[in-house]
A = this chain, B = another copy of it.
Amino acid sequence: MTSSPGATVPWIRIREASAHLGADVEVRGWLAHRRSSGKVQFLVVRDGSGTMQCVAGRNDVSPEAWQALETLTQESSLIVRGRLRADARSPGGVEMGLQSVEIVAIAEGYPITPKEHGTDFLMDHRHLWLRSPRQQAILTIRAEIVQAFRDFMHGEGFLLVDAPIFTPNACEGTTTLFETQYFDERAYLTQSGQLYAEAAAMAFGRVYCFGPAFRAEKSKTRRHLIEFWMMEPEWAFATLEDVIGLEERLLVYVVGRVLERNAEALKTVERDVTKLARVRAPFARIHYNDAVARLHAAGQAFEWGGDFGGTDETILAEQFETPVFVTHYPAAVKAFYMEPDPADPRLSLSCDCLAPEGYGEIIGGGQRMASLDLLTRRIDEHGLPQEAFEWYKDLRRYGSVPHAGFGIGVERTLAWIAGLDHVRETIPFPRMLYRLRP
């Protein structure tokens, strides 16, 4: 066994290994771990697509080569070449009989070892923590969810229309807004692309925006990120009923796709997939009034007219195996642009979707106000400057139509689907209260 830089076997990725059984191939990656029986060395190599066991017998190689293998430490980078063979005991069912190893770089003292590390330590080493199997599994599911969102919206005829990140108005107070100097004036970082998506819906009929959003919230909970990603569809001529149906189809599609394509990753994060398999339409739908009654029946003190807290959401969601839609929230706890409920004008044509297993709200949405007069009045009632909303009011001046939409957060959806305790693991480089690094 020698370093053979001249070898011209194909460079494959580990996840494709089973298609190359019996062939001589090359894998480029990093040493996950190594053990030796004295007669045989086992290298477990990861290349970012999977891990593979590579085996060398003492008699297969020169004493120098054997010695070189002994120097390999965790996360050393290397190129291995050899023949692939089926081996049921090996991860992925394929093993490599080593013919040569090229050591690219020896890693000295890799900080993340198989022993337990504290959360702060791991967060400080997020750039390396990403290499751990659990983090790999979570971010693989994240990428699948993002693409599933996009593919689903495309299939439903919605066009991607990116909303801007810089916005000019701090209409609803600056307490949770990040602000920056934008040449001669102040700008704020978006908390939602919805108003822009509404404008785009009047142009394209069905649109969605999908990008980062920012909330300067001083809360340190397992559900809060300062920077998070959100998809916001907006649908012209649609009602509350229409978007609830759309949300239901979306969640069924996304969960089904992750179950189908990320079985290995779900196993790595030890997700109870039987709970995901129960996510089938129709989801339960409960009216706000009914939700309040359910809280009272559960012994929870709750005053009609308020918004639900985390505990309230958990109590409601625990009554169902699927996500549950809570509809018709009081107008007072929702944004100024929500269409009032014709059946009870104290309520709004709004809907939140609560994930099961205590994950709480993952979607918020509803029908938007179509009337220019009412919208103008609401802007006044909320003490907002009319002038800042003239462009938004134009959407009601010129061809106003009933329309509805929602926002779904990537990180909360992922936390639920992957069964995570905390959103800090749901995004590659989390930004949280006092956490801006690495």
On whether A200 and B166 interact (CB within 8 A), knowing A13-B205, A391-B437, the answer reads no
Asked whether A391 and B211 contact (CB < 8 A) given A157-B49, A159-B143, A189-B180, the answer is: no
User: Taking CB as reference atom, which chain B residue is nearest A127?
Assistant: B199
How many angstroms between the C-alpha atoms of A275 and B189 in the bound complex? 39
Does A252 belong to the interface (CB within 8 Å)? Answer: no
For residue A206, which residues in chain B have a CB less than 8 angstroms away from its CB? Answer: 48-49
A199 / chain B contacts, CB cutoff of 8 Å: 127-128, 130, 438
- The listed residue with most B CB atoms (<10 A of its CB), out of A135, A136, A165, A395, is A165
Query: Does A66 sit at the interface, judged by CB under 8 A?
Result: no
Mask: chain A, 373-406; 1 = CB below 8 Å from B; 0 = not: 0000000000000000001101111111110000
- Closest CB-CB distance, A268 to chain B, in whole Å? 14
**Which A residues, 132 to 169, have Cβ-Cβ distances below 8 Å to chain B?**
135-136, 139-140, 142-143, 146-147, 150, 154, 157, 159-168
Select which of B140, B150, B205, B399 is within 8 A of A49 by beta carbon: B205
Residues of B within 8 A of A48 (CB): 159, 201, 203-206, 236
Which of chain B's residues have a CB closer than 8 A to the CB of A31?
399
A283 at interface, CB cutoff 8 A: no
Let me know if A364 is at the binding interface, CB within 8 A.
no
A346-386 interface code vs B (CB 8 A; 1 in, 0 out): 00000000000000000000000010000000000000000
| Complex interface: stretch among A298-306, A310-318, A428-436 | A428-436
Assess whether B160 is in contact with A146, with CB atoms less than 8 Å apart.
Answer: yes
Q: Which residues of B contact A30 (CB under 8 A)?
A: 202, 399
- With contact pairs A48-B204, A434-B184 given, residues A227 and B166 touching in the complex (Cβ less than 8 Å): yes
- Assess whether A237 is interfacial by the CB under 8 Å rule: yes
Whether A29 is near chain B, meaning CB under 8 Å from some CB there, is yes
A111 to B395, CA, bound (A): 12
Min C-beta distance of A143 to chain B, whole Å:
4
Known A30-B399, A395-B127; contact A166-B226, beta-carbon cutoff 8 A: yes
By DSSP majority rule, is chain A's interface helix, strand, loop, or mixed?
Answer: mixed
Question: How far is the CB of A186 from the nearest CB of chain B, in Å?
Answer: 9
Check if A425 is an interface residue, CB within 8 A of chain B. no
Give the shortest distance, in Å, between A12 (CB) and chain B (any CB): 10
Q: Which residues of B contact A163 (CB under 8 A)?
A: 428-429
Q: Report the separation of the CA atoms of residues A127 and B391 in the bound assembly, to the nearest whole angstrom.
A: 7
Residues in B whose Cβ lies below 8 Å from that of A180: 178-180, 189
Can you list 18 contacts pairing A with B, beta carbon distance less than 8 Å? A31-B399, A48-B203, A104-B399, A107-B398, A127-B199, A128-B394, A128-B398, A139-B161, A140-B159, A143-B159, A164-B428, A166-B227, A178-B182, A183-B218, A187-B436, A189-B189, A211-B212, A391-B438
Seen from chain A, the residues whose Cβ lies within 8 Å of a Cβ on chain B are 11, 13, 28-31, 47-49, 75-77, 79, 104-105, 107-108, 110-111, 125, 127-128, 130-131, 135-136, 139-140, 142-143, 146-147, 150, 154, 157, 159-168, 178-185, 187, 189, 196, 199-206, 211-212, 214, 216, 218, 226-227, 229, 236-237, 370, 391-392, 394-402, 427-429, 431, 433-434, 436-438
